Amino acid sequence: MPRRPALSLDRIIDAAVAVADRGGLGQVSMRNVGKELGVEAMSLYHHLAGKDALLDALANWIFTRIELPAPGAPWRPAMAGRAASARDVLARHPWALGLIESRRFPGPALLRHHDAVLGCLRGNGFTVTLAAHAFSVIDAYVHGFVLTELNLPFDAEADAGVEEFIGEIEEHLSPDAYPHLVELITENVMHRNYSYADEFAYGLDLILDGLASRLSAEPASG
């Protein structure tokens, strides 16, 4: 029988990710992660103080997966790339959405991520205040969009299921009672290969346009 690889913090985190991906964050416990690894839960305490430390490590792990702005990169493509990367990571690991900003003790990957984002903005002429606003509004948009995508009653990445979903509610949509909603569905959704996922880039551009306008209007300061 081949020997089991030595237990390590990285293996524990990978196992915790597998548990969370399969059953949600509520299934993450020292016992379940130990079971995933084929070891007793007590073995994990040689590497982690307990469940809170495990959740801290999971939050930190998520930030290791998100693309960081390259040093000296122009702010707009850097922010667009980071936002797209964050959306992809959070969509693949839905349990992370409520976890990443809730931890009291941020890990090094989280701190490095935040510092790189702010550094990119500051290096491109954003004031400290405008950089803070930019960071906040972009992340709020990404997190909100992912939350919506995860809860749609159809596939957000394709038109599959959209027409069926609309067909189910059409009987409740009287043009007299809901003229603007019917107009939207008729002209923008039905028979148009509509994909809600396409809204992400458009909405992000609106935010970046607004930030560009603010950046050009505000004098840079230290």
**What sign has the CA pseudo-torsion 173, 150, 197, 86?**
positive
pLDDT given for residue 185 in this prediction: 77
pLDDT given for residue 154 in this prediction: 62
Give the 3-state secondary structure of residue 56: helix
pLDDT given for residue 167 in this prediction: 65
Tokens of 159: 């038109």
Least trusted range by pLDDT, from 51-55, 115-119, 169-173: 169-173
Same domain, 204 and 132: yes
Helix extents (H) in the chain: 9-23, 30-37, 41-44, 51-64, 75-92, 108-123, 128-151, 162-169, 179-184, 199-217
The amino acid at residue 44 is: L
Tokens of 70: 């390259």
Same domain, 134 and 95: yes
Same domain, 6 and 42: yes
Query: For residues 97 and 62, what is the distance between their CA atoms, to the nearest angstrom?
Result: 10
Same domain, 76 and 119: yes
| pTM for this predicted structure | 0.85
Same domain, 21 and 71: no
Nearby residues of 171 by Cβ (< 8 Å), 6 or more positions away:
none
> Residue 120 sits in a domain of what CATH number?
1.10.357.10
**Whole-number average pLDDT of the chain:** 89
pLDDT at 190 over 80: no
Q: Does the residue 94 lie in any domain?
A: yes
* Count of structural domains within the chain: 3
Least trusted range by pLDDT, from 10-14, 85-89, 107-111, 181-185: 181-185
Same domain, 125 and 178: no
Q: Does the residue 55 lie in any domain?
A: no
Q: Does the residue 144 lie in any domain?
A: yes
Q: Which domain holds residue 167?
A: 162-194
Q: Does the residue 22 lie in any domain?
A: yes
pLDDT given for residue 169 in this prediction: 66
pLDDT at 155 over 70: no
